[in-house]
Amino acid sequence: MSDYVDSYYRDSRQVSLDPAPALAEARRVDVAIVGGGVTGCATALDLAERGYSVAVLEAHRIGWGASGRSGGQILTGFGTEMSTFATALGTDAACQAFEMSREAVRLTAERIERHAIPCDLRAGAVYAALKPRHMKAFAAEYEHMREVYGYQALHWLERDALYERVRCEAYIGGLYDAESKHLHPLNYVLGLARAAQQAGATIYEQSPATRIEHGEPAVVHTAHGRLQADYVVLAGNAYLAADVAPELAGQLMPVGNYIIATEPLSEAQVENTLPADDAVSDANFVLDYYQLSTRPTQGPRLLYGGQVSYGNKPPRRLAERMADKLGRLFPALSGIGIDYSWGGLVGVSRNRAPQFGRIGHNVFYAQGYSGHGMALAGLAGRLISDAVAGQAERFDLYSRLTHRRFPGGERLRTPLLVLATNFYRMRDLI
């Protein structure tokens, strides 16, 4: 079992959790949750606040997975276009789904405020176009989101207006989303876990679930203990092994995604990169995304993400290649030192829409947010706890989406996705 990856977030933790021992007994609880990322911790918090007895099993440490390593962008919308929802469920349901994605962002901010989580929450996200076809797609999205979804928080940015916010000559324009936000992801998830503990949830770290015995109650086994529970929530996302939930095998593609953190920037460097302190992502399929960190005692660092890989190994010369790319985007950062580089697994679903569902009637799962889960995972916690409490309509709106497995089984699905992604990567270059 491991401690946190060597990331900037680990070294700037501000939330300390009460010690969480490994599970070494047999316990009876109302709800057993497998996975201590945002999905698991938000679910634990909501259920504990409603008076359920809750235990979270985390294989490593709270926030060890994608949640504690991510780019920290808290975005409205989904990892897929709204047409995925509209085509499958109709326009009304798509509108409800989109409204819930806005709720996800508000809920994140509310929990942070209510539980005084020190995670540097700030507003504003820019979507940047590199090519005329990106601008064309943004223009269509801008109109569509206003007209069909009534979303007025998106603002159109011509090249000069974008340059005021993001000092990158390569961008030809874009969109500014005033509702989306960004934060320090590890402090956020640790803060959720601390709030869940304070509300009465028990957290067990270094406690991988090895097997689930389905039934009423269900039994979740670990190497040295077990939880008997009326409900089980699977919140292991891209890290959940197929033998714990064979029913979900092939539903997700775990894709490696990587971030570097620069050395602290000078005021002039901040002014020449992100003077408005926004989160940014570009419009490429394999996209760049970044934000500034906040450090009261030093200049902020640029946290710059975007490289992907499909095996367990990071791409070769990762930090060097990303630093070169960063220097090309922002000449003010050319040759800057890189103090950290790390990666994690994104759970990508085939249609890039989140997967919510049940196995039998008492095992819930939420996963596959496809790079867009920092806000949605918090919403998943609310919807799962509503469903456990008997109000499943909103959970079911998502669970009605049908999801196809990746073709090719365990052995072939990665090469197939690599082929598909290489195609899009080539397209990003054109």
Ligand X SMILES: Cc1cc2nc3c(=O)[nH]c(=O)nc-3n(C[C@H](O)[C@H](O)[C@H](O)COP(=O)(O)OP(=O)(O)OC[C@H]3O[C@@H](n4cnc5c(N)ncnc54)[C@H](O)[C@@H]3O)c2cc1C
Using CA atoms, how far apart are residues 118 and 188, in angstroms rounded to an integer?
7
Residue of 112, 114, 113, 159 whose CA lies nearest to 135: 159
Comparison of 304 and 406: residue with beta carbon closer to ligand X: 304
Contacts of 267 (CB under 8 A, 6+ apart): 299
Using CA atoms, how far apart are residues 306 and 97, in angstroms rounded to an integer?
27
Residue type, 363: V
The site for ligand X (CB under 6 A) is made up of 34-40, 57-60, 64-67, 69-73, 75, 208-209, 235-241, 244, 257, 259, 289, 305, 343-346, 367, 369, 371-375, 377
Q: Which residue is nearest to ligand X (CB)?
A: 373
Instruction: Residue 315: count other Cβ atoms within 10 Å of its Cβ.
Output: 14
Q: How far is the CB of 211 from ligand X (least distance, A)?
A: 9
Using CA atoms, how far apart are residues 415 and 426, in angstroms rounded to an integer?
16
Comparison of 217 and 347: residue with beta carbon closer to ligand X: 347
Comparison of 232 and 270: residue with beta carbon closer to ligand X: 232
| CB neighbour class for 69 (10 Å; exposed up to 12, middle 13-18, buried from 19) | buried
Residues in the chain: 430
Token code pair at residue 59: 């294989």
Reply yes or no: is the peptide bond before residue 254 cis, omega within 30 of 0: no
Instruction: Residue 217: count other Cβ atoms within 10 Å of its Cβ.
Output: 18
Token code pair at residue 144: 């569509």
Q: Return the exposure string of 179-190: e unless at least 16 CB atoms fall within 10 Å of the residue's CB, then b.
A: bbbbbbbbbbbb
Q: How far is the CB of 266 from ligand X (least distance, A)?
A: 25
Q: How far is the CB of 44 from ligand X (least distance, A)?
A: 11
Q: How far is the CB of 186 from ligand X (least distance, A)?
A: 10
